[in-house]
Each structure stands twice: as structure tokens, then as C-alpha cells.
Amino acid sequence: MSSNSFGGSEPVNLPNRGLLGSGWRPLNREIDWGYLSHLVFNDTWEITQKSFAFLSNLADAVGRHQYAWWANVFHLFSDDTRYNVDTFWNYITPEPPTPDYRYPEVLSTQTPIVQNVSRDSIPIDYVLNKLQETTVKNVLAILGKPDLIIQYYWERYFYLPIEKFSSWERVETLGTVYAYWSKADIWLTIEIFDRNQKQYTLTAKELTPLINKATYNLAVILSGYKSRVGQVQSQFSLRAFPSNIQSFSDLVQQSILDENQLAVLVHGEPGTGKTAWTQAVAKEILMPLGYVIFILDHDAVENFVPPAYIERICIIINEADNLAQDRASLAAQSNNKTEHILSLLDGTLYQSVIDESDLQKQQKLVVLMTCNTTERLDPALLRKGRIDLISEFTHKFV
């Protein structure tokens, strides 16, 4: 990373005053002898040509015969001469550091996320975007203060002294902001998306460990037109259930540890604690292992694809007998929800094309489903290889 001087006089052009008033300072480039020697030995003709052209311009500035000597001295400080000096200086000095876009892992979000809900749409896109925004902001909170904050605006670079940084919401953004954490080797780019929104982009060689920390204990619920990104909650513990359900829970836990993909179905009459059990499994087993919990209603399941940047995902589907209905029935023929959930259980829905960044290579998926009866379920759902574990709840728990 090149050496830069964080000092210099303040520019007088009016558009920059907003940045200067917010604590930004001009970033002046200085000589990096390693960079200069690289130019001399590897681009000899170009640097020679530019050097002679620069000296020729200076000679013309002070050698004009039609003007007095003092007028030529003043001409040295003209905008035209200043432009020539800046152009040559920028050529022989390295640019300030910016993100390496060859880094394989990238995570972006717009902020703030705006929810648009109508009678014809469900907020699945909103809640997934909100989760991504939460993840990016949590990563930034984990990283803390960066080692470098610079901004490119009106063809000039500015820097923000680290001691003046308090939060990203308070950083004045008029151009493009770059921030860098050397210990984690992570870049943040902030761009103005429109008048009220910004685009945050994280770029790194390896983001997954930080994303895992940032999504710890996160849960998403989407029911009807209501959605929420929050924390996992459970009213009952697993040890509050009957002994046979506790034994089944132990089996589920071991299977989660052993398998990359697991589907569990519990069925029984209303009031036997099926929904409470899925919440307890999410809180006591899945959350400590780093799973992000998605509690989705039927419309959300139909439009849901697991986010590729999350390594471990659990989907909870209640009343699955109203979703994956027997396709021979008239009720199931009017929608494609059964096909969608079958594809989800097979993994073909999101694993048929591997993301170029390869972020989802180690992705693990757990699906927990409840239903009152298995009689209405499509036979293909119960076929071996789709549902790994099944149990009937008979004790009136609630």
C-alpha cells in the first residue's frame, strides 16, 4: 500500500465545503520511491516523454517574450500551470488505495430498505433485503473503526481522520467513500444510490467467518403481510417435552451435526406442541450452531430461495399439509407450491447453478415442517430421501 500525506491546504471550491465542514481533509499524494523506480525501469519512454513535456510547459510559462518578467512569474500560479503540475504529479505518484475488485467475496446492500406492500405482492423481497442490510451493518459493527477512510469527489481525494469517525450514518457522503481494515483485509465502498439511499459494498478475500458472526442468533419471520428480522425466541425448552419427544430431539440434533441437508416432519393433532417444538429446536440446537432461522408462511415458501451468502439455514414451515398437498387433489392443481417445496427438499432449486463467488459451497440446510395429518401430503414428499426424520406428537402439550 502506497504512502500518502494526509495534510495540505483546504480547497476553495464551494462544493467541497460540505466535506470540510464535516471533518474531511484533502488527501495529498507524495512520492513513493518504489513506485517511481518502477516507472523509471519499466516505463522509461513514457516517463521521459511526460517529463520533457512538463518541463517544456514550465519553460513556456516563464519564457513568454510578449509579457513582462513579473507577469510570467504570476503565470506560474495560473490554473493552466497548476493543471499541468497536478497532472504530472499524479502520474509519478501512486493513487490512494482503493478496493481490489478481484477479491472473490462481495456482499452489498442498499440502506435504508424501503418496504412496498400491495394486495398483489408479499414482502419476501423486503425481508430478504432487510436481512442483508442487517448482516452488512452487523459486519461493520464487528469490524469497528477502519484504518483508512477516503472519499473521491469532484476529481479530488479527501480523507477522514479516524479520531473523527463515530458511525457510518454520520459520515458525509457526496462522492464515493472507501474504507479499509488491514487486519481483516476488507474494503467497504459507499456510493450514493439516490437522494435518500446509499449502497454499501463489502469486498474481501474471505467474508464467510464475519458473516457467520454477524448473523448469529438471527431469525426471520414472514406471515401474511407482516415480516420481522430479529432474534430466535422459544416459549418452552426441549426438556419440557415428553421423554419420547426428547429422545427424538436428540436424534435430530445428531443428524444436524452429521448431515449437510436434513428434512424433519412432525405431525399430530392441534395442541400437541409441534410449533413450540420447532421453536425450541431452533433456539437450543440450531442457533448455537450458527443457523439463521426462517419461519415462513406458505406464500413466502413458494417464493423463497436460500440466500447464497449465508452458510447455515433453517426453514420452518408450519401446517405443511396445506402447502405440499397431494397433486392428485383439486386444491393442489391450482398452484405449484408442492413442486416448489419438493425442489427445496431435493436441493435442486438452488444448487443446480453454483454461484460464481462459491460462497454457498459449504451451505447447510435444515427444514423443519409440522402438519396435523400426513394423509393430505403429496406421496412424493414422504418418499425416502426427502423426509429424513418423522415423528408423531400424541401428547396434549398445549
**Could you tell me the residue range of the domain that residue 112 belongs to?**
105-211
- The three grid cell numbers given for residue 199, joined into one nine-digit string: 449502497
Indicate if 205 and 305 belong to the same structural domain. no
**Is 277 within 8 Å of 389 (Cβ atoms)?**
no
- How many domains, the chain? 3
Indicate if 176 and 314 belong to the same structural domain. no
In a domain, 77, yes or no: yes
- Each residue's pLDDT tens digit, 144-199: 999 999 999 988 899 999 999 999 999 999 999 999 999 999 999 999 987 788 99
Integer Cα distance of 267 and 321 in angstroms: 9
Indicate if 252 and 186 belong to the same structural domain. no
Integer Cα distance of 206 and 35 in angstroms: 28
Indicate if 118 and 84 belong to the same structural domain. no
Indicate if 62 and 178 belong to the same structural domain. no
Indicate if 85 and 192 belong to the same structural domain. no
Residue that finishes a domain, picked among 92, 113, 142: 92
Question: What is the average pLDDT score of the chain?
Answer: 83
> ∠20-25-27 over CA atoms, to 5°?
140
Give the distance, in angstroms, between the CA of residue 8 and the centroid of all CA atoms in the same chain: 36
Q: What are phi and psi of 179, to 5 degrees?
A: -135, 150
In a domain, 4, yes or no: no
Q: Is the peptide bond before 112 cis (omega within 30 degrees of 0)?
A: yes
Identity (one letter) of the amino acid at 370? T
Integer Cα distance of 213 and 104 in angstroms: 19
- The three grid cell numbers given for residue 32, joined into one nine-digit string: 513513493
CATH number at residue 287: 3.40.50.300
Task: Look at phi and psi of residue 9 and say left if phi exceeds 0, alpha if psi is from -120 to 50, else beta.
Answer: beta
Indicate if 377 and 301 belong to the same structural domain. yes
In a domain, 367, yes or no: yes
pLDDT for residue 117: 60
**Is 313 within 8 Å of 365 (Cβ atoms)?**
yes
Indicate if 193 and 235 belong to the same structural domain. no
Question: Under 8 Å CB-to-CB from 184, ≥6 apart: which residues?
Answer: 143, 204, 210
**Is 35 within 8 Å of 14 (Cβ atoms)?**
no
Integer Cα distance of 285 and 253 in angstroms: 7
In a domain, 15, yes or no: no
The DSSP output letter for 114 is -
pLDDT for residue 36: 82
Nearest CA among 112, 127, 100, 328 for reference residue 203: 100
Residue 218 predicted with pLDDT over 90: yes
**Is 386 within 8 Å of 345 (Cβ atoms)?**
yes
pLDDT for residue 323: 67
Q: Go through 348-384 and write b for each residue having 16 or more CB atoms within 10 A of its CB, e for each that does not.
A: ebbeeeeeeeebbeebbbbbbbbbbebebbbeebeee
In a domain, 5, yes or no: no
> CB neighbours (10 Å) of residue 268?
20
Average pLDDT over residues 226-254: 92
Indicate if 272 and 137 belong to the same structural domain. no
- Each residue's pLDDT tens digit, 116-137: 666 555 678 888 999 999 999 9
Residue that finishes a domain, picked among 159, 177, 211: 211
Residue 369 predicted with pLDDT over 60: yes
In a domain, 369, yes or no: yes
pLDDT for residue 360: 45
pTM value is 0.80
Lowest mean pLDDT across 43-47, 237-241, 311-315: 43-47
Q: Which residue matches cell numbers 459493527?
A: 141
Indicate if 136 and 269 belong to the same structural domain. no
DSSP per-residue letters across 189-244: EEEE-SSS-EEEEEEES--HHHHHHHTTTEEEEEETTEEEEEE---SS-GGGS-HH
Question: Under 8 Å CB-to-CB from 76, ≥6 apart: which residues?
Answer: 58, 61, 62
Indicate if 181 and 314 belong to the same structural domain. no
- Each residue's pLDDT tens digit, 272-297: 999 999 999 999 999 999 999 999 88
- Each residue's pLDDT tens digit, 306-326: 898 999 999 998 888 766 555
Question: Under 8 Å CB-to-CB from 364, ≥6 apart: which residues?
Answer: 259, 260, 261, 291, 311, 312, 313
Indicate if 175 and 155 belong to the same structural domain. yes
Q: Is the dihedral of CA 266, 268, 269, 272 positive or negative?
A: negative
In a domain, 388, yes or no: yes
